[in-house]
Structures are given as C-alpha cells and as structure tokens.
C-alpha cells in the first residue's frame, strides 16, 4: 500500500521527551519500521529551530527523503520572545495542505503528531475512503475514536541522549 508520511517533529520531540526525558526518536529506525509495512511515496517533516541548531537533524531528514519545512528563530532575542515565536508558529495548515495534495496518490496517510487540531484533517482523510494512521507518542483517545490506526512509538525506536561537556545533547 502506498503511503504519505507527515511528521510534526517538534510535536514528536515534545511528546517523546515528556515520556522518556533522556531519549529521542531514531528517525532511521522509525522510517524503516514504517517501510516494513507500507511503501512511502511522499514524506514531509515540519518543525522549528533556534538559529541553526537543527541543521544536522534537517540534513538527516533530507537523507531519509523528507521534504523538510522548518522555521528558524533568532536566538539572540530574549528567551521569552524566542518561546513566543516558536509557540506562534503552527504547521497544522501546511500539514493539511500537503496531505490533501498527496491524498489522490496514496492509500494511507500517516501522521507523526498528537496535535488534536489535526482531527478535522483526519476525519476528511477517512471520509475520502483513505486510511489514516497516527504513529506517535501519547496518541489522544479522540483520534482512536475517529477510526485511525493508532501506533504508539515504543522505546525500541529511541536512542539515548547524553549531555556532552558543554551541557549540549549528543547521541
């Protein structure tokens, strides 16, 4: 079956970090697990970064054939201003546009997000006779009630993060 994968990487980072504070999603393993079930014909990743913090991660996503949509926030501003800018940017409209653009070419839309604001998109996907999978961490009950296939990320798809000598995260 042909699938589109649309991932809100900021949402996954937050939800996984909430459950497993010292772990992060291993996107290589995660994508391979998905490919074992379906043929991914389109994949999109959305997120935000301060300055170029996610540059290496974005490169990894591109190597995994993701179309990457990221915003960058100026890290020289006050911490509260940075948080506000990151909070204000929401990818749900772009996720919906991309999902609708590929809907005619796929059997399944896989969303890597637990954002409840995606419920109307999920309903539309299902109403169009397509399958919708949510492959994330902490999937809301309301998504399950909509008729999605809910797949919780398990710890075997995670990598441990250890702070380096500068307090920065490293694998």
Check pLDDT > 80 for residue 105.
yes
Residue 37 burial (C-beta neighbours within 10 Å; 0-12, 13-18, 19+): middle
- Residue 2 pairs in a beta bridge with 39
Q: What is the pLDDT of residue 49?
A: 81
What is the pTM for the complete model shown? 0.88
Q: List CB contacts of 150: < 8 A, sequence separation 6 or more.
A: 133, 134, 139, 143, 144
Local confidence band at 165 (pLDDT 50, 70, 90 cut-offs): low
Is 146 contained in some domain? yes
**Alpha-carbon gap, residue 86 to 54, rounded angstroms:** 14
Is 47 contained in some domain? yes
Is 78 contained in some domain? yes
Mean residue pLDDT of the chain comes to 89
Is 153 contained in some domain? yes
- Residue 6 pairs in a beta bridge with 44, 111
Residue 26 burial (C-beta neighbours within 10 Å; 0-12, 13-18, 19+): middle
Is 167 contained in some domain? no
CATH of the domain at 43: 3.40.50.1010
Is 58 contained in some domain? yes
**Alpha-carbon gap, residue 150 to 70, rounded angstroms:** 26
Is 169 contained in some domain? no
Q: What is the pLDDT of residue 169?
A: 52
Count of the separate structural domains present in the chain: 1
Once rounded to an integer, what is the mean pLDDT over residues 74-90? 63
Q: What is the pLDDT of residue 82?
A: 56
pLDDT digits (tens, 9 = 90+) for 118-159: 999 999 999 999 999 999 999 999 999 999 999 999 999 999
Domain that holds residue 100: 2-161
The kind and range of the H/E element at 90 are none
pLDDT digits (tens, 9 = 90+) for 37-78: 999 999 999 998 877 778 899 999 999 999 999 887 766 666
Is 98 contained in some domain? yes
């Amino acid at each position: 079956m042909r699938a589109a994968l649309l991932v809100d990487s900021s949402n996954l980072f937050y939800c996984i970090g909430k459950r497993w504070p010292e772990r992060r999603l291993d996107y290589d393993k995660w994508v391979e697990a998905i490919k074992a079930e379906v043929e991914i014909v389109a994949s999109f990743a959305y997120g935000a970064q301060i300055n170029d913090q996610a540059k290496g991660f974005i490169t990894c996503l591109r190597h995994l054939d993701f179309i990457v949509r990221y915003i960058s926030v100026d890290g020289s501003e006050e911490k509260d201003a940075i948080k506000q800018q990151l909070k204000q940017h929401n990818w749900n409209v772009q996720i919906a546009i991309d999902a609708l653009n590929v809907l005619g070419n796929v059997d399944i839309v896989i969303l890597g997000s637990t954002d409840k604001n995606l419920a109307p998109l999920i309903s539309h996907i299902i109403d169009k006779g397509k399958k919708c999978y949510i492959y994330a961490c902490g999937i809301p009950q309301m998504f399950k009630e909509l008729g999605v296939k809910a797949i919780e990320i398990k710890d075997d798809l995670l990598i441990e993060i250890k702070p380096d000598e500068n307090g920065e995260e490293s694998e």
